[in-house]
Amino acid sequence: MGIVEAILLTVITAATPLVLAALGELVAERSGVLNLGVEGMMIMGAVLAFAATDATGSPYIGILAGIAGGALFSLLFGFLTLTLVANQVATGLALTILGLGVSGQIGEAYVGMSGIKLPEITIPLLSEIPFFGRLLFKQDLIFYISIALVAGVNWYLFKSRSGLKIRAIGDNHASAHALGIGVIRTRYLAVLFGGACAGLAGAQLSLVYTPQWVENMTAGRGWIALALVVFASWRPWRVLAGGYLFGAVSISQLHAQALGLGIPSQFLSALPYAATVVVLVLISHNRRMTLINTPASLGKPFVPDR
């Protein structure tokens, strides 16, 4: 295996959780809900995936537990912001704070324990293609899901009828409601999907990226995923591209640390966060483009009149 191959493999592993979490958030935001709790849902997914894997010995059950954990946690957000119309920004923050606390509490028993890594699935024939075969067709299940989901969500949002409804709700919930679309119901489902994706992203962290439980192991990836959605101007394929770009940045800093360029490691570790800010600035400084791309009802509360 060549060095380029090895580096690209690590980039893929670093990018997958970002892509997944951002994709879920993208769907929620397309429906007009701004869920800042991605970090919290992700860390819940990570700890529950690890715990379930440890209990059953099967990382696949771990994946399911991670998805369920993220989804259940997002329901809490949905109940507050959709049913009780609480402030979405504040509730998202609450979700993150609570998630970090609860996961730390659950994960207490698993600190320092070595986990089970999700096995790779080799796809016959395709995996024998030189270079790309190893990169794309000898991967774990979560990677395959992430690619399929990007394609699926893109098709769903832009080619299906109910995807159109989601976008309609996100752009103008009052009109959508007047047309008889169930605004609250659809938003619940979108939030739930976002939570499931964040949970899956968390499962990837504790089953693939570093197969163990470390407190606060998401390390801001949930927030980077939120930035990715803006970066991608709410389009699934751009989430994929952006996720890999950010994955590359975070991996390059690890390699730079290994090379020992004489730059303090802390400065290199800060690189992904600084890159996020820079990218955000580049994307959003054009006010008109931002206005065109942002779902118009994003973050606004909705109470159906009757």
User: What residues line the site for another protein (CB under 8 A)?
Assistant: 36, 76, 80, 83-87, 89-91, 93-95, 97-102, 104-105, 108, 219-220, 223, 226-227, 230, 264, 266-267, 269-270, 273-274, 276-277, 280-281, 284-287, 290, 303, 306
* Three-state secondary structure call for residue 233: coil
Can you give the C-alpha Rg of the chain in angstroms? 19
Amino acid, single-letter form, for residue 265: S
| Cβ 270 to another protein shortest distance, Å | 5
| Cβ 160 to another protein shortest distance, Å | 27
CA–CA separation, 270 and 295 (whole Å):
31
Q: Using an 8 Å Cβ cutoff, are 15 and 241 in contact? A: no
Q: Which is nearer to another protein, 142 or 239 (CB)?
A: 239
| Cβ 1 to another protein shortest distance, Å | 32
Q: Using an 8 Å Cβ cutoff, are 22 and 82 in contact? A: no
Q: Which is nearer to another protein, 57 or 101 (CB)?
A: 101
Q: Which is nearer to another protein, 89 or 129 (CB)?
A: 89
Length of the chain equals 306
| Cβ 290 to another protein shortest distance, Å | 6
183-204 vs 161-171: helix crossing angle, rounded to 10: 100
Measure the CA angle with vertex 141, ends 135 and 145; round to 5°: 95
| Cβ 37 to another protein shortest distance, Å | 10
Q: Which is nearer to another protein, 144 or 273 (CB)?
A: 273
Q: Using an 8 Å Cβ cutoff, are 42 and 218 in contact? A: yes
| Cβ 20 to another protein shortest distance, Å | 19
Using alpha carbons, list the distances in angstroms from residue 217 to 100, 207, 213, 245.
10, 12, 7, 21
Q: Which is nearer to another protein, 185 or 255 (CB)?
A: 185
Query: Quick one: which of 206, 178, 197 has its CA closest to 51?
Result: 206
CA 129, 154, 243, 64 dihedral sign is negative
Q: Which is nearer to another protein, 209 or 302 (CB)?
A: 302
Q: Which is nearer to another protein, 57 or 220 (CB)?
A: 220
| Cβ 88 to another protein shortest distance, Å | 10
